[in-house]
Amino acid sequence: MLLFLFSCKDKLFTGSGYLSLKHMSSLNTRGCQGQEILLLCANDTVSYSNSTAVSKKPCMNLIKGLQRVKAICRTLRVNSAIEDLSQTYYKQAYQHDHFFKVKLQKKEVLGGCCVLVSCRLLNWPITMGTISCVLDADVAVVGTIYQEMIKILCIEAPITNVTDIMEAHCQEYKISLPHVPEELAESSKDLTKHAVALVELAADSWIVTGRRPVSIMMAAVYLAWQSLKPNKQRLKFSLDKFCQIAKIDKHKPALKRIAEIKQVLCKLGKEIPWVKEEVTPDNVVRQIEDILKYRYALLRRALRTHEDTLLAECQVSGVELLPEDTAPSQNSKPVDQTPHTSSIEQDGQNVETEKQPEDGGDKSEHSVPQEHKVPEPNWGKRELFAPPCVVNPKKRRRAAQPQMRDVASDEEISDSEIDSYIRSPQEARDFALSQKLLSLSDSKKS
Amino acid sequence: MDSSNDEALDIIVTNVVATFRTRCHLNLRTIALEGTNVIYKPEVGKVLMKLRKPKITASIWSSGKIICTGATSEDEAKLGARRLARCLQKLGFKVRFSAFKVVNVLAVCSMPFAIHLIDFTKNNRPIASYEPELHPAATYRIKHLKATIQVFSTGSLTVTGPNVQNVATAVEQAYPLLFECRKPLCK
């Protein structure tokens, strides 16, 4: 059924009915050629937005949002390509159903996220923290909206490397002349060079992965500053004081990162042939320059020494390590990557779900209940460099659960068991009375 | 090729979430009054009931929908759900145990090696995502299994999926990808 409206010879005709192509062509032959024939289907209403789509103008909030995106780009002093890309993404995201009806506050954060993703795509190093600072929003909120946005717009944004952000981060530290006295001043270029080298070393020794970049960068800058002129005055400077003179906010986790980096530096410092004294976290700062200069050679030496030590320990203890028990060392040959036998453990018992044909002899060993196995030593302690959480675990390893018989979902449930969960009538009455008394006393207090 | 480094990986199921329906209206005040180990939350309109064996916590709504959490296997979740249904029957409700379904399984697993998360994410984009400023782990989502793996640099994995089999399959699928990233890329 159609509603139709057409004009012919300056007259307007409306009606409803069934219009076939034959009818439409007959209208043309009657001199209605060139006149508009508007056909509306009674069952499909044309919405106002669809009918006015041709002359649609961008809404005020979109215009303001685009201006805000531009302002963020100007604040961050990014190039015009990033600015244009951010605006394009903002338009796309704004008009998507997911973001169309959200609050203006969220739309502002969306603008910041568009800038962030554009910077990442065009290799402009910037952190989420910087965007959050500019927007004055919580990092977690920015993160959530960012992840929603890249999912909706199907963007594959690369991750920013910590070393790329270092240069921008170092410039925030007001540690050059004339901000500080000459004895404390360092040029941004030297500071960045040393700090980047420290971050690279930290990345090679498992300190960077999984950690927030800011605390690592702060630790690297602090140690780099101390190592550029390792005199008594600088070595006495605490991180707190350093942040004060550099006019930046201190990050507490940076203290832990400093300790971790110093431990790594000590391990490498021991390998320097011309250093006779013992290298400790207190005196390692003086050796940082040499360590960074020869770090790859020192790394190789340290790993070799560690392997030799492990081998010597094995020979002394006289224990033949079984192949399953050895963790892969960092210099081990490439291992066959066949999927391993996996077992689902429930209440301390191993139940094999899939078996691989390769090591048939090992199956029985793997199906032994947990508590009968020799507890595996922490593999992190055997490695020279491992993530600090593995080397010094805070939590105790998941202990074997008390042995429980296999539970069957359809086993019988005895009445006595269920009765233990139900109050007797007397208990129920006493409970109701106590609740009443409690509520009365609460209302009296208020 | 050294095949003798094969090791069994223990996947420890830490939580199973299951739902079921009682097909009848439940009076929450009666349950709170006559049941032990019960916490009544009138502000959200539910009752929490804890069973000792198996150790599960059930959230009970007056519509008859119940969510059980805390079990360490699918069978345990079903047993706990049935015990709960029996409890409610004994309290006088006309309970019919129906529509039992395991909705989520959470498991943990530990690799015997550290994982370089940046390399892992680069090799597996866009399935893997890693934002160190937000969370210390990389997230790896396997769409066809509906499983999500959180990969930590220490080698720990946290896996969530709709059932235990999917979780195990997810770990087996992810293992070779993690194994590739067990060392930093050589310069």
Residue A29 carries which DSSP code? I
Q: In this predicted structure, what is the pLDDT of residue A342?
A: 46
Q: Considering only CB atoms, which chain B residues are within 8 Å of A428?
A: 33-34
pLDDT tens digits in sequence order for chain B, 187 residues long: 344 445 677 899 999 999 999 999 999 999 998 888 899 998 999 999 998 888 899 999 999 999 999 999 999 999 999 999 999 998 899 999 999 999 999 999 998 888 889 889 999 988 999 999 999 999 999 999 999 999 999 889 999 999 999 999 999 999 999 998 886 543 3
Question: A292 CA to chain B: closest CA distance, Å?
Answer: 16
Q: Would you say residue A16 has pLDDT above 60?
A: no
Cα A267 to Cα A220, A291, A310, B104, B158: the distances in Å are 17, 10, 15, 45, 32
As given in the structure block, the two tokens for residue A271 are 């390998």
- Euclidean distance between CA atoms A106 and A99, whole angstroms: 8
CB atoms A323 and B5 under 8 Å: yes
Asked if pLDDT for residue A332 goes beyond 50, the answer is no
Split at pLDDT 50, 70, 90, the class of A131 is: very high
Q: Please report the sign of the dihedral spanned by the C-alpha atoms of residue A379, residue A385, residue A386, residue A389.
A: positive
- The residue of chain B nearest to residue A387, with distances taken between CA atoms, is B154
Nearest CA to CA, how far is B90 from chain A (Å)? 8
How many angstroms separate the CA atoms of B59 and B103, rounded?
Answer: 14
Residues in A touching B102 (Cβ below 8 Å): none
Tell me the nearest-neighbour CA distance from B64 into chain A, angstroms. 19
Phi/psi at B35 (nearest 5 deg)?
-100, 150
Q: Which residues of A touch B165 (CB under 8 A)?
A: 353
Residues B39 and B124 sit within 8 Å (Cβ to Cβ): no
Given this model, what pLDDT does residue A64 score? 93
Distance of alpha carbon A210 from alpha carbon A147, whole angstroms: 18
DSSP per position, A288-313: HHHHHHTHHHHHHHHHHHHHHHHHHH
The enclosing H or E element of A243 equals helix A239-246
Mean pLDDT across A91-97: 92
pLDDT of A52 strictly over 90: no
* Interacting residues of B178 by C-beta distance below 8 A, sequence separation 6+: B111, B115, B120, B151, B155, B157
Q: How far apart are CA A134 and CA A114, in angstroms?
A: 13
Instruction: List strand residue ranges (DSSP E) for A9-124, in order.
Output: 11-17, 37-41
Q: Does A128 touch chain B (CB under 8 A)?
A: yes
Kindly list the residues from chain B whose CB atom is less than 8 angstroms away from the CB atom of residue A369: none
Q: Contacts for A258-267 with beta carbons within 8 Å, 24 or more apart?
A: A258/A219, A258/A222, A258/A223, A260/A202, A260/A207, A260/A388, A261/A198, A261/A201, A261/A202, A261/A207, A261/A219, A261/A220, A261/A223, A262/A223, A264/A201, A264/A202, A264/A205, A264/A207, A264/A385, A265/A201, A265/A291, A267/A302, A267/A384, A267/A385
**Mean pLDDT, rounded, for A323-342:** 41
What are the residue boundaries of the structural domains of chain B, listed by start?
Answer: 17-103, 111-183
Helix (H) or strand (E) holding B70: strand B65-71
Distances (CA, A) of A405 to A91, A109, A401, B65, B105: 60, 53, 12, 29, 21
The answer regarding whether domain B111-183 maps to CATH 3.30.310.10 reads yes
CA–CA gap between residue A128 and residue A36 (Å, rounded): 56
Q: Count of alpha carbons within 13 Å of A313, Cβ hemisphere only?
A: 8
C-beta of residue A157 within 8 angstroms of C-beta of residue A118? no
Give the C-alpha separation, A293 to A227, whole Å: 12
- Alpha carbon B20 to its chain centroid, in Å, reads 16
Both tokens of residue B151? Answer: 């990969």
Residue A65's CB is within 10 A of a number of other CB atoms, namely 23
Taking phi first (over 0 means left), then psi (-120 to 50 degrees means alpha), and beta for anything else, what does residue A20 get?
beta
In this model, does residue A205 exceed pLDDT 60?
yes
B-chain CB neighbours of A129 within 8 Å are: 133
Mean pLDDT, chain A, integer:
77
Nearest to A343 by CA among B113, B74, B11: B11
SS3 category, A418:
helix
- State the pLDDT confidence band at A14, using cuts at 50, 70 and 90: low
Least confident of A61-70, A93-102, A335-344: A335-344
Locate A240 and state its tokens.
């707190």
pLDDT at A310: 83
pLDDT, position A31: 52
Which domains are delineated in chain A? 60-160 (1.10.472.10), 164-314 (1.10.472.10)
pLDDT, tens digit, for every residue of A263-306? 999 999 988 888 888 888 888 999 899 999 998 898 888 888 88
Confirm or reject contact between A167 and chain B (CB < 8 A).
no
Query: What percent of chain A stands above pLDDT 70?
Result: 71
Q: How far is CA A308 from CA A303, A312, A384, B81, B165, in A?
A: 9, 6, 12, 57, 43
DSSP-derived 3-state class of residue B61: strand
Domain B17-103 identical in fold to domain B111-183 = yes
What is the C-alpha to C-alpha distance for residues A168 and A185, in angstroms, rounded to an integer?
18
Topology (CATH level 3) of domain B17-103 = TATA-Binding Protein (3.30.310)
3-state secondary structure of B14: strand
- ipTM for the predicted complex comes to 0.81
